[in-house]
Amino acid sequence: MSLFDKRSAFQVLGNLSQKPSLLDDKQYRLNKDDFNAADESAFYMIIFGAIHNLYNEGLEEVDAIAIDNFLSSYEKQYKVFNENNGAQYIQEAINQSHLRNFEYYYKRLKKFSLLRHYVDQGIDVSDIYDDSIVDPRESEVLMAEFDKKSVADIISDIDRRIFQVTKKFVDSTDSERMHASEGVKELLNKFKETPDYGISLIGNYQNTIFRGGKLKTLSLRSAPSNLGKTRLALGEAADMAIDEMYDWKKKEWLKRGNTENVCFITTENEADELQPTLLAYISGVAETKIKDGDTTEEEDEILQKAVEVLERTNFQIAYIPDFDMQQIETEIKDQILENNIQYIYFDYIHISLQILTELAEASNGMKMREDMVLFMFMNKLDQIRKKYNVFIKTATQVNGEWKNVQNADSTLLRGSKALADKATSGMIALSPTNKDLEAIQPILKNGFYPGAPNVVYHIYKNRHTKFKDMKLWLYVDYDTMRQHELFLTTNNYEMVDISPTNIQAMATAE
């Protein structure tokens, strides 16, 4: 089946030669792939490339002679151009094309370009366009329908088909129906007896912002590479699991509250790569010194005690290098049954070969876009946290726009901003910019902080409290991954009055 319309390419190339400034018109988005004739030669792409380059060099009109002269410097492309009578072709295209018809042929060219893209992704498009149909009436009906469709219509058709696959992974077993007043009195009494908080998070401001680490929640933290997503999560997970940690200022081991049952699921780092971070957090000894074996006798003694602290925990590490959604659910279920795990950190969401294989089998070989795959995985985590009554925290990468924003939100999520739809809380972790630091100087001057902030959490989603569209400023000691919360501001750098919540103290009082 041919998915390249030569007539449209002929007309568009002719129009571009007459008016190459169309390439700068924002309503027309053309690239060389739009002129990819698939199994044929690169003839059409070569002509488009020549017009594009000549326009960039300042030509306001491009004729056959200009294209011929330009391509003569490129042996391989010039050979293809001449073998297809390129000079004659482009001259005829200029003579026979009319700018008033450009819109029509542009849209038709883009429709075929879109179909080729879907086919390259393994998606069948024969229900939209198929020139191999033998029956004239059937072919005429399909072609008439295709002519009516816009690019957006075609995308909607394919998305609806993909959604049918998505529904196979949506668990509707948590649906329920009740009167709005049912159980309300009991709920009020429950809040009086036990305020609505989960376990203590790594910081008391975060306890206030998110009401602690509550079961049946799914938290999403996104960050650029090298900010330390995995190590931040390890520090937080350790904080939940341990009953003691060493304070070098006080020169003593500090008792902690109740220890929690924690599992850290990693897809890229094996356990021995994570353990030094855990020991650094517990002991307060710099991770680099631990890895270098460059520790003092005093530090060695502290580290030996840190090992004992870690041994007392119920902190499980699961290394799954090539995973699919079913494997993750099975691992979590096993951890719950075997180790009574309730608090889960999944390193970060990304696409694996196993996930692609799993979805391909479920969809009869149809390939899926990255954003759909990532969303379906996030949806699976959302189902798991509800089904098994667990706390889940995970992470994603951010896209390249993070360097250009003042207030970060879900639009920075790499792959799909829809990932945030399933999260109960969402934040972007970034290093403060010079502009940020300049804006908070008045706050820093009026307070006593252990250091200038080196991480800022842009909190863009929060189902638990009113604290969202705000920035939590932290100093993270990257030697030990211990976090120091400094203050909370609005997105406009105005100080927010927030009281820290010491959940461990609340639990002790009870």
Query: Which of 127-141, 274-288, 297-311, 356-370 has the weakest average pLDDT?
Result: 356-370
The pLDDT of residue 509: 46
The pLDDT of residue 139: 81
Contact 224, 398 (CB under 8 A): yes
Q: How confident is the model at residue 372 (pLDDT cuts 50, 70, 90)?
A: confident
The pLDDT of residue 508: 46
The pLDDT of residue 366: 63
**Looking at the predicted structure, is the pLDDT value of residue 25 above 70?**
yes
The pLDDT of residue 359: 67
**Looking at the predicted structure, is the pLDDT value of residue 2 above 80?**
no
DSSP conformation letters of 474-502 = EEEETTTTEEEEEEEEETTS-B-------
365: left (phi over 0), alpha (psi -120 to 50) or beta: left
Q: Does domain 6-167 have CATH number 3.40.50.300?
A: no
Q: Which part of the chain is CATH 3.40.50.300?
A: 192-509
Q: How confident is the model at residue 474 (pLDDT cuts 50, 70, 90)?
A: very high
Mean per-residue pLDDT for 241-262? Answer: 94
Q: How far apart are CA 331 and CA 381, in angstroms?
A: 12
Residue 432 has what DSSP assignment? P
Q: How confident is the model at residue 205 (pLDDT cuts 50, 70, 90)?
A: very high
The pLDDT of residue 254: 95
CA-closest candidate to residue 176, choices 384, 386, 388: 386
Report pLDDT digits (tens) over 440-463.
Answer: 999 998 887 877 899 999 999 999
192-509: what CATH class?
alpha beta
Bridge partner list, 413: 398
For the chain, percent of residues with pLDDT exceeding 70: 94
**Looking at the predicted structure, is the pLDDT value of residue 134 above 70?**
yes
Mean per-residue pLDDT for 98-126? Answer: 91
Report pLDDT digits (tens) over 278-316.
Answer: 999 999 999 999 999 999 999 999 999 999 999 999 999
Question: How many Cβ atoms are within 10 Å of 82's Cβ, its own excluded?
Answer: 13
Report pLDDT digits (tens) over 115-129.
Answer: 999 888 888 888 898
Contact 265, 344 (CB under 8 A): yes
Token pair belonging to 126: 């024969």
C-alpha torsion angle, residues 67, 68, 73, 78 (rounded to 10):
110
Q: Which part of the chain is CATH 1.10.860.10?
A: 6-167
| pTM, full prediction | 0.64
Task: Output 368 or 81, whichever has higher pLDDT.
Answer: 81
**Looking at the predicted structure, is the pLDDT value of residue 174 above 70?**
no
Mean per-residue pLDDT for 137-166? Answer: 84
264: left (phi over 0), alpha (psi -120 to 50) or beta: beta
Averaged pLDDT score across all residues of the chain:
89
Mean per-residue pLDDT for 87-101? Answer: 95
Q: How far apart are CA 478 and CA 281, in angstroms?
A: 10
Q: How far apart are CA 478 and CA 481, in angstroms?
A: 5
Q: How confident is the model at residue 323 (pLDDT cuts 50, 70, 90)?
A: confident
DSSP conformation letters of 238-254 = HHHH-SEEEETTTTEEE
The pLDDT of residue 72: 94
Q: How confident is the model at residue 164 (pLDDT cuts 50, 70, 90)?
A: confident
220, exposed or middle or buried, with CB in 10 Å at 0-12, 13-18, 19+? buried
Task: Output 299 or 361, whichever has higher pLDDT.
Answer: 299
The pLDDT of residue 382: 94
- CB half-sphere exposure, 417, CA atoms < 13 A: 9
Q: Which amino acid is residue 494, in one-letter code?
A: E
The pLDDT of residue 363: 62
